[in-house]
């Protein structure tokens, strides 16, 4: 939802549950002029990811729907790897299981389709048009962005900032002991982006695991603010939260992707440290690891900082922002 003081944004997403919540936040926020949503394979395949983005747009009904463009079907080098076991086979918590009292589906098949324009072209055109005013928020693997850099590095370097949900610097990974999921899926793409020279902000597990959404809170929210959006949030998070319940004894989920959008809206939500960081692409046990040089005496002439890493978050302020914008 844009106004005269809003800034242009593109969201690059792999179409999972927390991606959907992030998209709702961005579509409703008056500070954001969401120009496009580019999708790629990650949590699920690229076609389902595009369908999920269109589903969210259909539910939110923004006055100016963003363009939706499909991108990469697989990582730069590696075979695809998904998280259907966490997000559901459809990436949105198995929405087919929800029916109305007459037996009709609560979420019928969509009639809208993504643009015929490729995601990489959308990214490059937006970079050319909006330049340093443009923020890209990357919620999935970085394959689309890396591909755009490989296609036309000079043009993509015109963007103001890329906010990346990915990585784990001072905390363990979530898909392996060393790696966060997005970087694990395509570490080669992540390293291309690290070397891009574009201003980068990393919203990794260091802060994402400090932004919990509790099951009881979202159920209370849906009762107090009944709408298509609140019901969708309650429905799509069920499978996702069941994963955390069964594996971590946590009755809720973490707002990884919404926090990245939140940081793009209000950078003061987090404290950051500028560091030199690389992503491991070869390690047998460490592939996808975010290796940040945190040494006090690092040689900044040899290893100049290339990314601002978020290390702390004001959880209370972020949750207030999240709830205020999804109503």
List, for residues 44-61, the tens digit of each pLDDT value: 999 999 999 999 999 999
Q: Is residue 249 part of a domain?
A: yes
Q: How far is CA 223 from CA 61, 184, 227, 327, in A?
A: 21, 38, 9, 12
Ranges of the chain whose pLDDT falls below 50? none
Please say whether the beta carbons of 75 and 189 come within 8 A: yes
52, two tokens: 């999920």
**98, exposed or middle or buried, with CB in 10 Å at 0-12, 13-18, 19+?**
middle
Q: Is residue 1 part of a domain?
A: no
Tell me how far apart the alpha carbons of residues 189 and 75 are, in angstroms, rounded to a whole number. Answer: 7
List 96, 225, 251, 256, catalytic entry:
256
Q: Is residue 2 part of a domain?
A: no
Please say whether the beta carbons of 304 and 191 come within 8 A: no
Question: Which residues are bridge partners to 162 per DSSP?
Answer: 136, 200
Which CATH number fits the domain that encloses residue 244?
3.90.245.10
Q: Is residue 250 part of a domain?
A: yes
Q: Is 256 a catalytic residue?
A: yes
Q: Is residue 40 part of a domain?
A: yes
Tell me how far apart the alpha carbons of residues 91 and 16 are, in angstroms, rounded to a whole number. Answer: 5
Q: In terms of residue numbers, what domain contains 281? A: 7-326
What end-to-end distance do the CA atoms of the chain give, in Å? 13
List, for residues 88-134, the tens digit of each pLDDT value: 999 999 999 999 999 999 999 999 999 999 999 999 999 999 999 99
Q: How far is CA 184 from CA 283, 288, 291, 303, in A?
A: 11, 4, 13, 23
Q: Is residue 161 part of a domain?
A: yes
Number of domains in the chain: 1
Q: Is residue 125 part of a domain?
A: yes
* 296 secondary structure, DSSP code: T
Q: Which pLDDT value is given to residue 4?
A: 64
> What are 125-130's contacts with CB under 8 Å, separation 24+?
126/8, 126/10, 126/35, 126/36, 126/159, 127/155, 127/156, 127/157, 127/158, 127/159, 128/155, 128/158, 130/8, 130/35, 130/159
At 278, is the secondary structure helix, strand, or coil? strand
Q: Can you say how many angstroms the Cα of residue 135 is from the centroid of all Cα atoms in its chain?
A: 13
Q: Which pLDDT value is given to residue 235?
A: 97
């Amino acid at each position: 939802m844009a106004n005269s003081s809003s800034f242009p944004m593109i969201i690059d997403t792999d179409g999972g549950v927390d991606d959907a919540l992030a998209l709702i936040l961005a579509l409703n926020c008056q500070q954001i002029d969401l120009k496009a949503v580019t999708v790629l394979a990650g949590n699920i395949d690229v076609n389902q990811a595009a369908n999920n983005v269109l589903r969210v747009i259909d539910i939110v009904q923004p006055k100016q729907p963003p363009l939706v463009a499909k991108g990469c079907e697989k990582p730069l080098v590696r075979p695809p790897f998904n998280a259907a076991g966490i997000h559901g086979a459809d990436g949105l918590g198995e929405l087919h299981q929800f029916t109305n009292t007459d037996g009709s589906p609560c979420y019928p098949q969509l009639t809208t389709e993504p643009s015929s324009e490729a995601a990489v072209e959308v990214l490059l055109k937006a970079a050319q048009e909006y330049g340093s005013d443009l923020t890209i928020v990357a919620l999935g693997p970085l394959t689309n962005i890396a591909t755009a850099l490989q296609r036309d590095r000079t043009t993509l370097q015109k963007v103001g900032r890329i906010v990346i949900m990915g990585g784990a610097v001072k905390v363990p990974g979530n898909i392996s002991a060393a790696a966060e999921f997005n970087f694990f899926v395509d570490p080669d793409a992540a390293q291309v982006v690290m070397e891009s020279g574009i201003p980068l902000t990393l919203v990794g597990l260091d802060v994402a695991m400090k932004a919990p959404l509790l099951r009881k809170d979202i159920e209370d929210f849906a009762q107090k603010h009944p709408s298509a959006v609140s019901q969708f949030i309650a429905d799509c998070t069920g499978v996702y939260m069941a994963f955390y319940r069964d594996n971590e004894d946590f009755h809720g989920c973490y707002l990884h992707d919404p926090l990245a959008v939140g940081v793009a809206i209000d950078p003061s939500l987090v404290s950051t440290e500028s560091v030199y960081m690389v992503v491991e692409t070869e390690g047998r046990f460490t592939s996808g690891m975010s290796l940040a040089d945190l040494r006090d005496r690092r040689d900044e002439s040899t290893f100049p900082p290339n990314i601002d890493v978020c290390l702390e978050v004001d959880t209370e302020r972020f949750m207030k922002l999240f709830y205020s914008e999804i109503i």
